């Protein structure tokens, strides 16, 4: 049944790049993973629809779970050597954050991160130059500082930081981070990635932030 539905879909939409075709719990309805999103179609592929597929008996949003899987990033695949490392407590847990030092939400999150329990935070400097034109120079300066973690903290407080010109031998990684963000479809700050590979955006309150850090892959 799935094989025929897939053939019909591919015949009707040959230019659509589908990562994966799957069955759904609903008879006659199939799933196509397109990019980071999910669409559904009938066996003829004439009818397509997007939206939420809910299992009301189980209380599960099946679409949300699938999209989370599609957007998951293998934490160990991240180039952590290109992030500013800050350790809280024993640092046993890990969290990656894409941050714009001039973003008010990144600054708000930075204050909450300090209250995390036993977490190593890897901050990728991701300036959104279209809205924060000074963020790129500040990010370069943070990366090239003798103590990047301390300088990052200062930048996120709005303090003045030393210009990158004071360290002409340093090669900033900010351009690499911008490319990395584009590869993973990250366009806003702050964006957080936990060890399970899940991502979330925004200045989370401490309880929600801690739960995100503690989460295991489902």
Residue, of 152 and 218, whose pLDDT is higher: 152
Q: How far is Cα 87 from Cα 93, in angstroms, rounded to an integer? A: 10
Chain region(s) in the chain for CATH 3.10.450.70: 2-71
In the predicted model, what is the mean pLDDT of the chain? Answer: 92
Residue 218 pLDDT level (bands cut at 50, 70, 90): low
Residue 217 pLDDT level (bands cut at 50, 70, 90): low
Chain region(s) in the chain for CATH 3.40.30.10: 75-214
| Neighbour order of strands in the sheet with 191-194 | 84-88, 119-125, 93-99, 191-194, 199-201
Is the alpha carbon torsion for 114, 120, 125, 127 positive or negative?
Answer: negative
Q: What is the model's pLDDT at position 185?
A: 87
| Correct CATH for 2-71 of 3.10.450.70, 3.30.43.10, 3.40.309.10, 3.40.50.300 | 3.10.450.70
Instruction: Return the HEC string of 151-174.
Output: HHHHHHHCCCCCCHHHCCCCCCCH
Encoding tokens for residue 14? 């040959």
135-177 pLDDT, tens per residue?
Answer: 999 999 999 988 999 999 999 998 887 665 455 668 889 999 9
Q: DSSP secondary-structure letter at 112? A: H
| Crossing angle between the packed helical segments 206-214 and 104-113, to the nearest 10 degrees | 70
- In the chain the beta strands, taken as DSSP E runs, fall at 20-23, 29-34, 37-42, 48-49, 54-55, 60-61, 84-88, 93-99, 119-125, 191-194, 199-201
Q: How far is Cα 97 from Cα 214, in angstroms, rounded to an integer? A: 15
40-55 pLDDT, tens per residue?
Answer: 999 999 999 999 999 9
Encoding tokens for residue 146? 């003798």
Q: What is the model's pLDDT at position 125?
A: 97
Q: What is the mean pLDDT of residues 31-43?
A: 92
Stated pTM of the model: 0.77
- Range 75-214: architecture per CATH: 3-Layer(aba) Sandwich (3.40)
| Crossing angle between the packed helical segments 135-144 and 174-183, to the nearest 10 degrees | 120
Q: How far is CA 155 from the centre of its chain?
A: 22
């Amino acid at each position: 049944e799935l094989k025929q539905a897939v053939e019909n879909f591919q015949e009707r939409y040959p230019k659509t790049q589908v990562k994966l075709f799957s069955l759904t719990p609903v008879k006659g309805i199939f799933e196509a993973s397109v990019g980071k999103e999910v669409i559904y179609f009938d066996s003829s592929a004439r009818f397509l629809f997007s939206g939420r597929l809910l299992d009301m008996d189980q209380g599960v949003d099946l679409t949300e779970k699938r999209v989370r899987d599609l957007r998951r990033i293998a934490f160990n695949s991240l180039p952590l050597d290109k992030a500013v490392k800050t350790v809280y407590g024993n640092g046993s847990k890990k969290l990656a954050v894409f941050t714009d030092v001039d973003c008010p939400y990144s600054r708000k999150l930075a204050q909450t991160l300090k209250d995390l329990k036993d977490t190593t935070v890897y901050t990728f400097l991701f300036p959104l130059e279209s809205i924060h034109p000074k963020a790129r120079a500040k990010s370069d300066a943070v990366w090239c500082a003798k103590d990047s973690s301390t300088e990052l903290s200062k930048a996120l407080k709005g303090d003045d930081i030393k210009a990158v010109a004071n360290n002409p031998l340093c090669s900033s990684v900010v351009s690499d981070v911008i490319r990395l963000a584009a590869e993973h479809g990250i366009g806003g700050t702050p964006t957080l990635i936990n060890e399970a590979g899940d991502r979330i955006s925004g200045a989370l309150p401490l309880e929600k932030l801690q739960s995100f850090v503690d989460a295991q892959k489902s």
